[in-house]
C-alpha cells in the first residue's frame, strides 16, 4: 500500500504523462524500472546509501537509464534520488498503476490457485470478471498449494474465496458448533 508521499510523487508523474499523452507508455516504463530495482536490490541500496554522494548517485542513474527511458522518467528518477525518495520507487509504481488503471477503466484481478491456470482457464476467468466489473481485466495467477483446490479471486477491495481450504474451514466451524 502506497504512502501519501508515494501517491503525491506518482500523481505528479501521472499528470505530466497524461498531459503529454504518454500515460500508458510511462506506466510500462515505470513498471520496468520498478522491476529492475526489485531484480537488483543492491543497486537500490547504492542509491539509498547516505555515505555515497548525490553526484555519484545521479551519475549512476544517468549511466543506467539515460537513453533507455523517457526523459521525463529519467528526471523523475534523478529527483527521487536527490530528495532521498528513490527507496519508495515500488510504492510509487503501484500508486501510478492505480491512477492509470482507474482512468483507463482497467481492473487488476489476482486468481490464487493450487496449480497454475492454463490459457483457456485464464481467458474464461478474465471474460467472467470483465462481465462482472464492466472493466478491462489484467489477470494475474498466483500459485499457492495450501488452497488445495478451487480459486481465490481478489478484485479491487473484494475477495471471493471458493477454495477447498475455505470450504473445509467452514465445515470445521459448523461441526464445532454442532458438537459444542
Per-residue pLDDT of the chain (180 residues; tens, 9 = 90+): 568 999 999 999 999 999 999 999 999 999 999 999 999 999 999 999 999 999 999 999 999 999 999 999 999 999 999 999 999 999 999 999 999 999 999 999 999 998 999 999 999 999 998 998 899 999 999 999 988 888 888 987 788 887 777 677 777 787 777 776
Q: Do 87 and 16 share a structural domain?
A: yes
Quick one: which H or E segment has residue 128? Answer: helix 119-133
pLDDT of residue 164: 77
Q: Do 110 and 94 share a structural domain?
A: no
- Give 91's Cβ-side CA count (13 Å radius): 14
Cα-to-chain-centroid distance, residue 2? 10
Residues shown for the chain:
180
Quick one: 163 exposed, middle or buried, by C-beta within 10 A (0-12, 13-18, 19+)? buried
User: Could you tell me the CATH number of the domain that includes residue 22?
Assistant: 1.10.520.20
Quick one: 12 exposed, middle or buried, by C-beta within 10 A (0-12, 13-18, 19+)? middle
Are 163 and 151 in contact by the 8 Å Cβ rule? The answer is: yes
Q: Do 76 and 21 share a structural domain?
A: yes
pLDDT of residue 122: 93
Q: Which of 67, 102, 137 is the last residue of a domain?
A: 102
pLDDT of residue 46: 94
Q: Where are the beta strands (DSSP E) in the chain?
A: 106-113, 136-143, 150-155, 158-163
Q: Do 135 and 114 share a structural domain?
A: yes
Q: Which of 102, 118, 148 is the last residue of a domain?
A: 102
Domain that holds residue 123: 106-179
Amino acid at each position: 500500500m502506497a504512502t501519501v508521499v508515494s501517491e503525491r510523487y506518482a500523481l505528479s508523474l501521472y499528470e505530466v504523462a497524461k498531459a503529454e499523452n504518454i500515460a500508458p507508455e510511462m506506466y510500462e516504463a515505470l513498471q520496468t524500472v520498478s522491476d529492475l530495482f526489485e531484480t537488483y536490490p543492491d543497486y537500490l541500496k547504492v542509491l539509498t546509501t547516505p555515505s555515497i554522494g548525490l553526484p555519484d548517485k545521479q551519475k549512476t542513474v544517468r549511466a543506467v537509464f539515460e537513453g533507455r527511458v523517457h526523459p521525463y522518467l529519467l528526471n523523475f528518477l534523478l529527483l527521487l534520488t536527490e530528495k532521498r525518495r528513490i527507496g519508495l520507487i515500488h510504492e510509487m509504481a503501484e500508486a501510478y498503476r492505480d491512477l492509470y488503471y482507474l482512468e483507463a477503466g482497467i481492473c487488476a484481478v489476482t486468481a490464487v490457485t493450487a496449480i497454475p491456470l492454463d490459457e483457456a482457464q485464464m481467458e474464461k476467468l478474465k471474460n467472467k470478471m470483465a462481465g462482472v466489473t464492466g472493466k478491462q481485466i489484467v489477470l494475474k495467477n498466483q500459485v499457492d498449494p495450501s488452497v488445495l483446490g478451487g480459486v481465490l479471486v481478489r478484485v479491487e477491495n473484494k475477495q471471493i474465496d471458493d477454495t477447498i481450504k475455505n470450504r473445509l474451514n467452514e465445515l470445521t466451524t459448523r461441526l464445532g458448533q454442532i458438537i459444542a
